[in-house]
Chains A and B, each alone.
Chain A
């Protein structure tokens, strides 16, 4: 690793990572704040009525979705979070070869005694570190929210149970008392780490793919166009696979099928033993499906293969003169 190149890469990435970092931290804190303001009881009935139509689109149970943890976890599927990390990955990944070629700066850079692989992988290291930082900031924002925000809850009036009838009769006709409970009593920041890790793996995969296309191309606008095109098609393919049972097989062709932060947060909460498992097992020890680590490994593997191919392509390709 060349420290001069490293400093240059950090210098180029710092504004974007700084801006997106602040955005993600604030958004995740805000997400906790919004969850604290909306009481589950206010919309649970509506969601329950629509659940049959939309349950295929949600990777978690209704109970999990309505819980504080489940509602905060939805943040990891919010466009701001997913696109925030993806924008950083695409912006930095696409810049490494076709971006520098387009600006004409690659010529001066490679006129120096640095190898092409050094140029590519130094930038990749900074990009991956930037993605990791952004994902850490999502957890930090969520944790800051959990430790600073209180939840308003209705305390029902005292009641008495009638044995045999299964009924409770209130002892007072006063309105339910509202109390404030710290969010930290409802959920824990640690539950969200698997979601953030899944987001990191997605970002790593997108950065690797962007770098590969950049290594093949000479125009950055075209690199971004190709990557965004594949990204959008991948989202559509997953949604179609989820929504229409006849084409459920389409999900196997979408990289977003491996991006399930809500599900992994739910597993971490309810099945701690499976929280980081390669294969998810039931209580009897039988394998049920791929575990969170398995999904994450698919994303990481795609990213690693993309980065390796990018290195091979960039090392062998001709560098055209800038236009």
Chain B
């Protein structure tokens, strides 16, 4: 594990920002952090780079304690804060030179200039006269040009137009191809799905789910309307099927394996209508973050209610 946390906790007088967070990131992995505002993503990242002192637990990067050896940690890490601001008195080129020199110079300036070019950024302009998006691009160029084994990117595509977002995702993929580790925090599920190999979902400061994107791509959801009661699932298939909702009108089944073995069994069901959809990250995400709307309608949500409320995403196979 190149990044590891154990029971990492940050409490303030006003509440708990992160509670008992234990996770590990493998070397060369692109690791996603998901969660709404206030879920604890930024707190986790700030604990990793030593901006915050943990109330309990610990975090290590490349075997170094993030709290006690923060300086050594930051030699291994390039961190892009969510609200990245660069020195307003400098010109863009001067800022890139500053960040390259502070990391020891070398060809860092050249790399930063090339990234700035790819991001379509005019580095001759003074930072104080740059728009929010331009400042963000500048910070991105400074961060991604660092020659380090780990990149920690907190909402790297915020404030950027779709074309530049694509460039940022390409930069992340290039980093992965070069064997670098990337921790990628974002609200945009499609981006996370595109670049990450594994994601964790945070809710109210707690890590509630870890999901491998490879597994997720194999998972499907079958939504069927039946004309009669659903028969028992054959023994051979019971291990790979989960019935998440089963009422008089609709049956929702999730599958974790290949589809072909199921199709012959599905054909035997008393079907009125059926859809087969890729499960998608949104489905997983909303299992944990759709609760609030359901709970406001009275009492805690049942598992079947949660699943029934999940909107589906991804390609759909519709069988009338």
The interface of chain A, by Cβ under 8 A from chain B, is 2, 4-5, 8, 11-12, 103-105, 107-108, 110-115, 316, 318-319, 321-322
On whether the beta carbons of B102 and A318 are closer than 8 Å, the reply is no
Q: How far is the CB of B57 from chain A (nearest CB, A)?
A: 15
Contacts of B78 in A (CB 8 A): 111
Contacts of A4 in B (CB 8 A): 98, 101-102
Contacts of A114 in B (CB 8 A): 71, 74, 102
Contacts of A322 in B (CB 8 A): 83, 85
Complex Cα gap A113–B50 (Å): 11
Known: A112-B103, A113-B103, A114-B102. A321 touches B88 (CB 8 A): no
Q: Which residue of A lies closest to B49 (CB)?
A: A111
On whether the beta carbons of B87 and A105 are closer than 8 Å, the reply is yes
* Interface status of B7 (Cβ within 8 A of chain A): no
Q: Which residue of B lies closest to A102 (CB)?
A: B85
Q: How far is the CB of B71 from chain A (nearest CB, A)?
A: 5
Contacts of B52 in A (CB 8 A): 318-319
On whether the beta carbons of A105 and B85 are closer than 8 Å, the reply is yes
Q: How far is the CB of A251 from chain B (nearest CB, A)?
A: 40
Contacts of A5 in B (CB 8 A): 102
Complex Cα gap A97–B151 (Å): 25
Contacts of B80 in A (CB 8 A): 111
On whether the beta carbons of A12 and B51 are closer than 8 Å, the reply is no
Supply 18 further A-B pairs (C-beta < 8 A) apart from A4-B98, A321-B46: A103-B88, A104-B81, A105-B86, A105-B87, A107-B81, A107-B83, A107-B85, A108-B85, A110-B74, A111-B78, A111-B81, A112-B74, A113-B102, A113-B103, A114-B102, A316-B53, A321-B81, A321-B83
For the A-B complex, the count of residue pairs with Cβ-Cβ distances under 8 Å equals 72
Q: How far is the CB of B50 from chain A (nearest CB, A)?
A: 8
Known: A113-B75, A113-B103. A319 touches B46 (CB 8 A): yes
Q: Which residue of A lies closest to B43 (CB)?
A: A321
* Interface status of B271 (Cβ within 8 A of chain A): no
17 example contacts (A-B, Cβ-Cβ < 8 A) are as follows A2-B102, A4-B98, A5-B102, A11-B89, A12-B87, A104-B85, A107-B81, A107-B83, A111-B74, A112-B99, A113-B102, A114-B74, A114-B102, A115-B71, A316-B53, A318-B52, A321-B42
Give B59-99 interface residues, CB cut-off 8 Å to A. 70-71, 74-75, 77-90, 98-99
Complex Cα gap A113–B98 (Å): 12
* Interface status of B142 (Cβ within 8 A of chain A): yes
On whether the beta carbons of B46 and A111 are closer than 8 Å, the reply is no
Q: How far is the CB of B131 from chain A (nearest CB, A)?
A: 15
Known: A11-B89, A111-B74, A112-B99. A104 touches B53 (CB 8 A): no
Give B9-23 interface residues, CB cut-off 8 Å to A. none
On whether the beta carbons of A108 and B74 are closer than 8 Å, the reply is no
Complex Cα gap A108–B154 (Å): 12
Q: Which residue of B lies closest to A15 (CB)?
A: B89
Contacts of B185 in A (CB 8 A): none
Q: Which residue of B lies closest to A321 (CB)?
A: B42
Contacts of A111 in B (CB 8 A): 49, 74, 77-81, 143
On whether the beta carbons of B87 and A104 are closer than 8 Å, the reply is no
* Interface status of B119 (Cβ within 8 A of chain A): no
On whether the beta carbons of A113 and B74 are closer than 8 Å, the reply is yes
Complex Cα gap A104–B99 (Å): 16
Contacts of A319 in B (CB 8 A): 46, 51-52
Q: Which residue of B lies closest to A322 (CB)?
A: B83
Complex Cα gap A111–B98 (Å): 13
On whether the beta carbons of B87 and A318 are closer than 8 Å, the reply is no
* Interface status of B139 (Cβ within 8 A of chain A): yes
Q: Which residue of B lies closest to A118 (CB)?
A: B71
On whether the beta carbons of B71 and A113 are closer than 8 Å, the reply is yes
Contacts of A110 in B (CB 8 A): 49, 51, 74
Known: A12-B89, A115-B71, A318-B51. A104 touches B98 (CB 8 A): no
Contacts of B49 in A (CB 8 A): 110-111
Q: How far is the CB of B209 from chain A (nearest CB, A)?
A: 25
On whether the beta carbons of B98 and A8 are closer than 8 Å, the reply is yes
Complex Cα gap A179–B82 (Å): 72
Q: How far is the CB of B28 from chain A (nearest CB, A)?
A: 22
Q: Which residue of A lies closest to B88 (CB)?
A: A103
Complex Cα gap A105–B98 (Å): 13
Q: How far is the CB of A310 from chain B (nearest CB, A)?
A: 18
Which among A104, A105, A112 has the highest number of chain B CB atoms within 10 Å?
A112
Q: How far is the CB of A147 from chain B (nearest CB, A)?
A: 37
Give B32-64 interface residues, CB cut-off 8 Å to A. 42, 46, 49, 51-53
